């Protein structure tokens, strides 16, 4: 019968190893977790692969051990434990304890001595021992009953006596003799001058031990080595005393203490949640046998009849493989088919639907001709409002954050998803109420879900011929451009390779390095713009990048996205993609189409009305962020200018240049426009000077003059920064919050960036609130009047519609009225309206 085996972990050494091997891992609050993560991986692998009968973790207590008393300079070169690691040590100890593993440590001794002592006692009790360590010193313990496993070398290597001899040329017991002669730089054990590793191995092989080497020092050849050893006998003897592990440390333990205890599943889950280790939590629940995933029963019309008659709230889910699954009154089931009863239940607005990402479910159903109404509570949208800076709002992440459970434990594909949503809803609802966000959630964000679903379903019509012609044209331009780039470079190279581009620009052409990255001199857009005045090549490279990006992102991609069933592209509008509340779009992203380039114009020209009997109608808020600034700052001068319908940019230009408004040139107005919007975005005098290519002093004069004219704007900026510092967040006119914890960061650059966010967010976020409220009002009015007009795009401050010509006047009036009056400000809200057959060739409409 095989002997039972004890595993002894050199825990402190592994903590250091993990800390330095894994970089940049921390929680969202900034707590470093790299050492815990690496240590946990090592520990879990040992438990999974080796199934230890006994196991213990051995730690160093302090740097002050018996070795320092013998030799004060022992390990003197090692710095104190880094703060980033020391802050993780309590978590590592909690991790070890959670896995039922005994911890051993003793003041005055190193972890290696503890390991040697426990190993000796274990062998006396008839156990085999595996020491888990990457330390060379520990190899001296290897014998017929003891092995050393280094999990990091060669993907894991186990040292027996033969392997030690093969690697070091000496037997395990001779490791201290070897160290005594050659020294150990890591531990600051001084070697004998002139005795390196090769010589030390030869001497131990010839004489057998340090003591024998010292006894026969006069026989050693060459004489130089002989003399060095004779002169340093006390040093060599001390070195061996330092290298030999103490196997007689007084420790009070029994073998039973070394048997792994039961998993503290709850404690480990709490730890993993605190450290944001989702993967480990999922694995732990599998190990603990905690998975409750199960297949939902198939429901029929009788179940749906009960829901309909009692108007029960429905928890709704959807997946490609399981179709629609739902629960009501605590009972869950999967729909076998979309029967008449199912259609009725789904389309009834008086039956509230709760789900996660209801927009996706509604769009999927609508593709199959099924109407989903009564969208009541979306856990994804609620979580976004509560924390708009979170990286992910997936059900898996919310289950982890709010329920301390991973989806695996709930069977996230069907039954688990429904129970997770049901459990999340009251928690999220309470949090919305606590943060005064419930009204925003109910009046804007939830109604918007339906609006966006309708927009996605409706789609956008493309003239693909325009894009095909543009693609061919760009191909020709790129061929000529590439030839010009090669000619100016004097060589052919991969233009898309930063490494090759660096070689051409900085080595071959000798252009100055503007800034550096971790991999070398930067060749980003800012650098190329700065170098464009020194050489022709950077300007051509910028043009090449712009053309290839537009060609790949839009010109060649948009036609491929046309749905063959509808003949339109169906972009996804993302409600949870920005911290300010702005919508974003993807697949394709229509918000990044450039407006001032010839290619961008041609792309816009390819977006067309649905048919010859329709127009595209584009309605754009005029200077909406400046109007909101006037409203929330309460600045009388700014309010007055908007109420008088002045050209605010021209008025600002007259102010900063000290001229009459009639004397202001277009260039001056453009500069003033940049000052106006720069103020909104918290632009500093340094940023403005760089943006306008003017001196720092001139930029500061512009800002000072502006703020002197609009003093409440200055007060507003100061108040928002102060509010963010006091409350940790700022709000919009509808109560939307953005949390800015970095406002108190010790790093000045980080803190200043946070201050700019505090200034800009209430403005940009309020503009978002306004356009969202308008979209909801417009959709309700259009549907209420049975009109065929459809909202198809939202791009920044612009809404685009497809409007039948017969409805044009009525639709335009309805849309403009909603946009201008849905939320009343202290200044007039103005909307510019254009119409046309495509998104480019449009004419203004009064």
Q: How many CB atoms lie within 10 A of CB 488?
A: 16
* Torsions phi, psi for 124 (to 5 deg): -60, -30
Question: What pLDDT was estimated at residue 321?
Answer: 67
Query: Are 97 and 264 within 8 A, CB to CB?
Result: yes
d(CA 514, CA 561) in angstroms, rounded, equals: 40
3.40.50.1010, 3.40.470.10, 3.30.70.260, 3.40.30.10: CATH of 5-173+238-258: 3.40.50.1010
Contact 538, 531 (CB under 8 A): yes
- pLDDT at residue 410 in the model: 46
Q: CA–CA separation, 584 vs 750, rounded Å?
A: 25
Q: How far apart are CA 394 and CA 385, in angstroms?
A: 14
pLDDT value of position 291: 47
Residues with Cβ < 8 Å from 778, sequence gap 6 or more? 791, 799, 814, 815, 818, 819
Residue 709's Cβ-side half-sphere holds a number of Cα atoms within 13 Å equal to: 21
Helices (H), 152-215: 161-168, 175-182, 197-207, 210-215
Separation CA 267–CA 96 (nearest Å): 11
Show me where the domains of the chain are located.
5-173+238-258, 298-436, 461-569+577-608
Residue 773: helix, strand or coil by DSSP? Answer: helix
CATH code, residues 298-436: 3.30.420.10
For 740-760, give one letter per residue: b (16+ CB within 10 A) or e.
beebeeeeeeeeebbbbbbbb
With residue 584 as reference, give the H or E element that holds it.
strand 584-586
Any idea what DSSP says for residue 807?
Answer: G
Q: Supply 499's token pair.
A: 């490494």
- In this structure, the number of other CB atoms found within 10 A of the CB of residue 609 comes to 23
The answer to whether 484 and 533 have CB atoms below 8 angstroms apart is no
Mention every residue, 6+ apart, whose C-beta is less than 8 A from residue 500.
Answer: 493, 494
The residues with which 461 forms a beta bridge, in sequence order, are 568, 608
Q: Determine the pLDDT at residue 313.
A: 94
606 and 825 Cβ atoms separated by less than 8 Å: no
d(C-alpha 187, C-alpha 263), whole Å: 36
3-class DSSP assignment, residue 62: coil
3-state per-residue secondary structure call for 362-430? HHHHHHCCCCCCCEEEEHHHHHHHHCCCCCCCCHHHHHHHHHCCCHHHHCCCCHHHHHHHHHHHHHHHH
Residue with tokens 């769009």: 363
Question: What b/e readout covers 674-705, taking b as 16+ CB neighbours within 10 angstroms?
Answer: bbbbbbbebbbbeebbeebeeeeeebeebbeb
- Per-block average pLDDT, block size 10, for the chain (846 residues)? 86 90 82 93 89 92 72 67 90 93 89 91 91 89 91 81 88 86 75 80 83 82 81 81 85 88 86 85 67 71 92 88 83 88 95 96 93 96 95 86 65 71 94 97 97 96 95 94 92 90 87 84 87 88 91 92 94 93 91 85 94 96 94 94 91 86 88 83 79 82 86 93 95 95 90 92 95 97 96 95 97 96 96 96 92
pLDDT at 322: 64
What whole-number distance in Å separates Cα of residue 65 and Cα of residue 783?
81
Distance of CA 154 to the CA centre of its chain: 32
Instruction: Give the CA diameter of the chain.
Output: 114
DSSP letters, 209-261, are: SHHHHHHTGGG-SSHHHHHHHHHTHHHHHHHHHHHS--S-------GGGGS--
At residue 75, the pLDDT reads 64
What pLDDT score was predicted for residue 292?
47
Bridge pairing between strands 323-328 and 314-319: antiparallel
Say which CATH topology domain 461-569+577-608 has: Taq DNA Polymerase; Chain T, domain 4 (1.20.1060)
Contacts of 804 (CB under 8 A, 6+ apart): 613, 614, 788, 789
The two three-digit tokens of residue 312, written as one number:
């029960």
CA nearest to 733, candidates 619, 585, 581, 621: 581
Per-residue pLDDT at 76: 65
Cβ-proximal residues to 166 (8 Å cutoff; 6+ apart), any chain: none
Name the DSSP class of 80: P
| pLDDT of amino acid 369 | 92
Say what the pLDDT of residue 77 is. Answer: 63
DSSP-assigned letters across all residues of 475-543: HHHHHHHHHHHHHHHTS---TT-HHHHHIIIIIIS-PPP--EETTEE--SHHHHHHHTTT-HHHHHHHH
Question: What pLDDT does 286 receive?
Answer: 64
User: For residue 411, what pLDDT is reported?
Assistant: 46
């Amino acid at each position: 019968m095989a002997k039972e085996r004890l595993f002894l972990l050199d825990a402190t050494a592994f903590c250091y190893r993990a800390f330095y091997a894994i970089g940049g891992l921390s929680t969202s609050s900034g707590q470093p977790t790299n050492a815990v993560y690496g240590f946990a991986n090592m520990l879990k692998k040992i438990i999974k692969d080796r199934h230890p009968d006994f196991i213990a973790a051995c730690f160093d207590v302090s740097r002050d051990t018996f070795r320092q008393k013998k030799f004060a300079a022992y390990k003197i070169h090692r710095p104190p434990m880094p703060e980033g690691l020391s802050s993780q040590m309590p978590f590592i100890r909690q991790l070890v304890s959670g896995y039922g593993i005994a911890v051993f440590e003793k003041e005055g001794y190193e972890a290696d001595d503890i390991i040697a002592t426990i190993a000796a006692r274990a062998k006396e009790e008839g156990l085999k021992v595996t020491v888990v360590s990457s330390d060379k010193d520990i190899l001296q313990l290897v014998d017929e009953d003891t092995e050393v496993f280094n999990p990091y070398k060669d993907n894991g290597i186990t040292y027996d006596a033969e392997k030690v001899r093969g690697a070091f040329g000496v037997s395990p017991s001779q490791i201290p003799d070897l160290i005594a002669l050659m020294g150990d730089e890591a531990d600051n054990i001084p070697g004998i001058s002139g005795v390196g590793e090769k010589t030390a191995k030869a001497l131990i092989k010839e004489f057998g031990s340090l003591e024998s080497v010292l006894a026969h020092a006069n026989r050693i050849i060459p004489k130089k080595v002989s003399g060095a050893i004779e002169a340093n006998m006390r040093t060599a003897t001390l070195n061996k005393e330092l290298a030999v592990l103490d196997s007689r440390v007084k420790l009070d333990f029994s073998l039973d203490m070394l048997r792994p205890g039961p998993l503290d599943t709850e404690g480990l889950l709490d730890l993993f949640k605190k450290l944001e280790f989702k993967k480990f939590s999922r694995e732990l629940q599998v190990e603990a046998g905690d998975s409750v995933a199960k297949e939902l029963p198939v429901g029929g019309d009788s179940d749906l009849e009960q829901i309909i008659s009692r108007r029960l709230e429905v928890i709704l889910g959807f997946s490609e493989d399981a179709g629609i699954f739902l629960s009501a009154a605590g009972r869950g089931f999967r729909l076998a088919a979309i029967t008449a009863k199912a259609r009725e239940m789904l389309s009834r607005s008086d039956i509230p639907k709760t789900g996660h990402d209801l927009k996706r479910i509604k769009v999927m159903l609508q593709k199959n001709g099924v109407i989903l109404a009564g969208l009541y509570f979306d856990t994804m949208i609620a979580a976004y409002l509560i924390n708009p800076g979170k990286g992910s709002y997936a059900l898996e992440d919310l289950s982890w954050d709010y329920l301390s459970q991973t989806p695996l434990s709930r069977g996230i594909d069907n039954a688990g998803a429904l129970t997770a949503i049901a459990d999340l809803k009251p928690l999220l609802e309470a949090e919305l109420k606590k943060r005064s966000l419930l009204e925003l959630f109910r009046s804007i964000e939830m109604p918007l879900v339906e609006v966006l679903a309708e927009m996605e379903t409706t789609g956008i019509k493309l003239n693909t011929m325009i894009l095909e012609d543009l693609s061919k044209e760009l191909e020709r331009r790129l061929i000529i451009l590439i030839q010009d780039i090669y000619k100016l470079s004097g060589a052919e190279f991969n233009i898309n390779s930063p490494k090759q581009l660096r070689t051409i620009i900085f080595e071959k052409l000798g252009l100055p390095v503007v800034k550096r990255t971790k991999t070398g001199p930067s060749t980003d857009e800012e650098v190329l713009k700065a170098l464009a005045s020194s050489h022709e090549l950077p300007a051509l490279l910028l043009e090449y990048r712009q053309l290839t990006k537009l060609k790949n992102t839009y010109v060649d991609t948009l036609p491929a996205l046309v749905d063959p069933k509808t003949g339109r592209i169906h972009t996804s509008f993302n409600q949870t993609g920005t911290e300010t509340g702005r919508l974003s779009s993807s697949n394709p992203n229509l918000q990044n189409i450039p407006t001032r380039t010839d290619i961008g114009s041609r792309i816009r020209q390819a977006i067309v009305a649905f048919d010859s009997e329709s127009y595209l109608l584009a309605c754009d808020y005029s200077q909406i962020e400046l109007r909101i600034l006037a409203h929330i700052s309460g600045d009388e001068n700014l309010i007055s200018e908007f109420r008088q319908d002045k050209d605010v940019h021209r008025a600002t230009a007259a102010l900063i240049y000290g001229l009459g408004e009639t004397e202001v040139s277009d260039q001056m107005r453009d500069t003033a426009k940049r000052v106006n919007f720069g103020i909104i975005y918290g632009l500093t005098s340094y940023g403005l000077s760089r943006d306008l290519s003017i001196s720092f002093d001139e930029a500061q004069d512009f800002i000072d003059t502006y703020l002197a004219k609009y003093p409440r704007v200055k007060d507003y900026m100061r108040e928002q920064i102060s509010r963010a510092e006091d409350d940790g967040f700022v709000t919009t006119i509808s109560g939307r919050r953005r949390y800015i914890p970095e406002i108190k960061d010790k790093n000045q650059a980080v803190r200043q960036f946070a201050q700019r966010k505090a200034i800009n967010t209430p403005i940009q976020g309020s503009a978002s609130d306004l356009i969202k409220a308008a979209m909801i009002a417009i959709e309700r009015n259009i549907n209420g009047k049975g009109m065929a007009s459809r909202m198809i795009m939202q791009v920044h401050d612009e809404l685009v519609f497809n409007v039948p010509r017969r409805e044009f006047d009525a639709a335009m009036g309805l849309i403009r009225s909603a946009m201008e009056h849905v939320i009343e400000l202290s200044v007039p809200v103005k909307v510019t309206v254009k119409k046309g057959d495509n998104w480019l060739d449009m004419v203004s409409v009064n």
